[in-house]
Amino acid sequence: MEVGDIPSGWRRESPVINMMIPMFVFAWTLLPIGFLAMIVIFQKYQSVAYYLSLISQAGLAFALFASVAQRQHAMRDSRLQYVTSVLCLTLFVTIVCFWLGDSWWWMASVWTIGLVPFMYHGIQRFATWNAPILAIEWPNSQPLPFDEALTGWKIESYLLRRGVVATLEGSNVVCLRGVINEVGSELWLELLCPEMEMPDLKTLGIDFSSLSSGVNGKKMMESE
């Protein structure tokens, strides 16, 4: 089954990703970081270095989380976890330097400036995840036949719910999750990767026919 082939009963959707706000905030955050760099270079106005560091870190954090919040399981990606760890470590170093005294302002400033490429990499990585979503309608009262349909997956729930219900073992970027709203309930297959790197669906260990037949059988029973 090739990437472009849609399993019977499923439909293909393009993920909706809005990067305008994250990139706008990221761009404006470069302004206080620029001031911080000039303070390090010219060794003047060191008294405001801590404040600029905290403002810059807050802006970078908002830009990152405004991105990943658009995909519920994005933080399961190991590289985004690494970027978040660097952010938290930078904040910790800034707080420790502030506690040690004004003479350590340069350490907090250097860590904050060095945080920029990590945050840009995290935001840029998220923006490339344009692999299509495969969706199928599924009643949230009907158990999911994961034992028959999935091989090599970690099952988190046999009932459809909001959020992740199963993840592919050994992968942090492939999951099945439930979407429930006023229109109805659906099961989504999401792959956090660029479309060009999307694997063949045959390699995911999913028996799409089992899931399709399960929901179709339920609909036939309800129609009778």
The pLDDT of residue 4 is 53
What are the extents of the domains in the chain?
11-15+130-223, 20-127
Which residues of the chain are under the pLDDT cut of 50?
A: 1-2, 217-224
The pLDDT of residue 224 is 44
CA distance 1 to 19: 32
The pLDDT of residue 184 is 83
For β-strands 11-13 and 174-180, DSSP reports them as unpaired
The pLDDT of residue 6 is 74
The pLDDT of residue 1 is 45
Are the C-beta atoms of 189 and 176 separated by less than 8 Å? yes
Q: Which residues contact 41 (CB under 8 A, 6 or more apart)?
A: none
pTM, full prediction: 0.81
The pLDDT of residue 171 is 67
CA distance 164 to 173: 11
Radius of gyration of the chain (CA): 23
The pLDDT of residue 107 is 94
The pLDDT of residue 140 is 80
The pLDDT of residue 90 is 97
Beta strands (DSSP E) in the chain are 11-13, 133-137, 153-155, 163-168, 174-180, 185-191
